Amino acid sequence: MALFTDPLHDDPTLAEGDVDWLHMVVGEWQLIADLDFADLVLWYPVAGSEVTGRGFVALAQARPFTSQTSLHRDIVGSRVRSDLKSLVDQAWTTGEPTATAPSVHGPDSSMRVAVWPVVRLHRSIGVVTVHQNLTGQRTPSRLELVYRESATHLLTMLSRGQWPETDDPVSGSHRGSPRVGDGVLRLTAEGLVDFATPNAVSAFRRLGETEPLEGRSLARMVTDLQDERRPVDESLPLVLTGKAAARAELEVRSVNLTLHTVPLRDDAGRFGALVLLRDVTELRRREQQLIGKDATIREIHHRVKNNLQTVGSLLRMQSRRMHSEEAKKGLEQAMRRVDTIALVHETLSRGLEQQVDMDSLLGRQFRLAVEVAGDGREVSTEFRGGFGQLPSELATPLALVINELAMNAVEHGIGPEGGQVGLSARRTQTPSGERLEVRLWDSGTEAGAGDHGRVPDGGREPRRIADGPEMGVEGDSRQGRGMKNEGEKVQGEAAGVAPAPGPSSGLGLHIVRTLVAGDLRGTIDWMALDSGGTEVVIQAPVPER
């Protein structure tokens, strides 16, 4: 549950740890709302005028799951009503709870409000109001009496700085955490069951316990039910005795229960405990099914990776038998594409998260592609920015695009003397959503450096990518030697560098264009650089999580 923290920012009266304590209160106070059948509001003081004096603003609000709400409107961020202000201010000033006020909203009001201070280190750091709806109230049952009595114990502990427990694990970190409606046991200081709700009794029936629970030791009952050969949750003894705030899981006869203990204390010490329990058998069964499916999918990715590596090896063997340099180069390029896809499947086989860390995957793939395409030349790499976490379905097309562009940059943008190929990525927010911008550039050749036509905007001339150089695209003989215009062939011959085979180069750019437009739903452009190289710019939307 979120806490409205604006009034807490830069408040000099707050000590270290006060804000964390308020977060803990809001994280655990649903228990009080359910036990007391009431709405809760957390208030904090704010400055007022000279006339009105100190005011209070609502930081958080909780509604009960065990009854209808009393406050239908969300009041978080609102100022306290004038008819409640004096009670809230009194609790804040004195550090003591105020008496319930049935007529705080008028003589005929059906609302009763109790006000409790939130105390830490013997000083007030907040005020909680408890709003109960008295409409249709009848003679309470024993369950309701026990619930409300337990809620009063917890509120008293809250006003004395004894609750929440600092060593109690955070609720959200424990899947299947129980609530009041799932089942409650109240224990004595000796660990005997003093009261059990019907849902708690039913849960123990499923464990195999047919005798009444009240008056018996909870720890002894569970010990008798457990199979000695099964491992035991190390927190279970603390939960069963109620000696400390703890959470544990119990499995008996294929039935899974989660338990959460809340010790009850007064000035003399611990006098009892509440144990909340929930049957999570079906939840755990589904989790096991998901784990099995996850393992199966990981194994499939692993086998696909192995199969792709086998295909790559076959292509490598075939290329060695080829006498045509053009055919050999075509097979080598196909082999590198297969290896790129295999690398993606290897990454996916290590985990099945919906989001993939693309920086580690593409950084490795980029350097590998440059090293392989360099063929012994001294080509350095540079990687700036970051891709971040992206959906797994983008991993393969983005890796193939980076692989093709990196190889193309080395083969057509770097001369025998070597050079540098760079890659950068950044994510930006636009009115239409988040976008990913990827830039890949080469340093060009010494022969082509400074041989571009200059343009007024700083030496860059954007060109939308189309088909490759052998597919009929008109080029500029003065453009940089990079990825791909007719001019690169002229400059290549002038520099004494053999141009790459036309069909394979054209296929690579055709693959890039198809993947960017289709899978990535983006655009791709290139620019001529003053240094003699070429920069490719890809822009694509980032799907929402």
Residues 379-420: pLDDT tens digits?
899 999 988 888 878 888 888 888 889 888 888 888 888 888
Q: What is the pLDDT of residue 29?
A: 96
More confident residue, 292 or 423: 423
Q: What Rg do the C-alpha atoms of the chain give, in angstroms?
A: 35
Look at 261 and 491; give whichever has higher pLDDT: 261
Q: Give the pLDDT of residue 277.
A: 95
514 vs 544, more confident: 514
* Superfamily for domain range 354-541: Histidine kinase-like ATPase, C-terminal domain (3.30.565.10)
Q: Mean pLDDT for the chain?
A: 80
Q: At 495, is the pLDDT very low, low, confident or very high (cuts 50, 70, 90)?
A: very low
pLDDT (0 to 100) of residue 32: 97
Check residue 509 and give its pLDDT.
Answer: 82
Question: Could you tell me which residue, 429 or 334, shows the higher pLDDT?
Answer: 429
CATH number for domain 171-279, candidates 3.50.4.10, 3.10.20.90, 3.40.190.10, 3.30.450.20: 3.30.450.20
Domain ranges of the chain: 6-141+148-159, 171-279, 285-352, 354-541
| Number of other residues whose CB lies within 10 A of the CB of residue 463 | 17
What is the model's pLDDT at position 453? 32
Which of the given ranges, 115-129, 171-185, 331-345, 516-530, has the highest pLDDT on average?
115-129
pLDDT tens digits along 53-66:
789 999 999 999 99
**Residue 242 neighbours by CB under 8 Å, 6+ apart:** 187, 189, 191, 218, 261, 263, 270, 272, 273, 274, 275
More confident of the two residues 269 and 486: 269
When mean pLDDT is compared across 123-127, 144-148, 326-330, 446-450, the lowest value belongs to 446-450
pTM: 0.61
Instruction: Encode pLDDT of 245-291 as tens digits.
Output: 999 989 888 899 999 999 999 989 999 999 999 999 888 888 777 76
Strands 419-430 and 433-442: antiparallel
pLDDT of residue 461: 40
Model confidence band, residue 220 (pLDDT cutoffs 50, 70, 90): very high
List the one residue out of 272, 251, 8, 239 whose CA is nearest residue 118: 8
**C-alpha to C-alpha distance for 408 and 529, rounded to whole angstroms:** 16
Q: Tell me, what's the pLDDT at 49?
A: 60
Q: Tens digit of pLDDT for each residue in 14-54?
A: 999 999 999 999 999 999 999 999 999 999 999 876 556 78
The class that CATH gives domain 6-141+148-159 is: alpha beta
> Which amino acid would we find at residue 523?
T
pLDDT greater at residue 205 or residue 135: 205
Domain 6-141+148-159 identical in fold to domain 354-541: no
Helix, strand counts (H, E) of the chain: 13, 18
Work out the average pLDDT over 169-179. 62
Query: Would you state the pLDDT for residue 164?
Result: 94
pLDDT(139) > 50? yes
State mean pLDDT over 366-375. Answer: 81
How large is the average pLDDT for residues 123-148? 90
Residue 324: exposure state from Cβ atoms within 10 A (0-12, 13-18, ≥19): exposed
In this prediction, residue 52 carries a pLDDT of: 66
Q: What is the mean pLDDT of residues 522-531?
A: 87
| pLDDT over threshold 50, residue 473 | no
Bigger pLDDT: 205 vs 289: 205
Q: Among 134-148, 151-165, 366-380, 451-465, where is mean pLDDT lowest?
A: 451-465
The DSSP bridge pattern shows strands 98-101 and 55-62 to be unpaired
End-to-end CA distance of the chain: 21
The rounded distance, in Å, linking the Cα atoms of 140 and 265 is 25
Residue 424 CB neighbour total at 10 angstroms: 16
- Tracing tokens 């709870």 back to the chain, one arrives at 97
- E-assigned strand segments in 182-236: 184-188, 193-196
Is the pLDDT score of 432 beyond 90?
no
Quickly state the pLDDT bin for 335 (edges 50, 70, 90).
Answer: confident
Chain-centroid distance, C-alpha 375: 42
d(CA 412, CA 489): 9
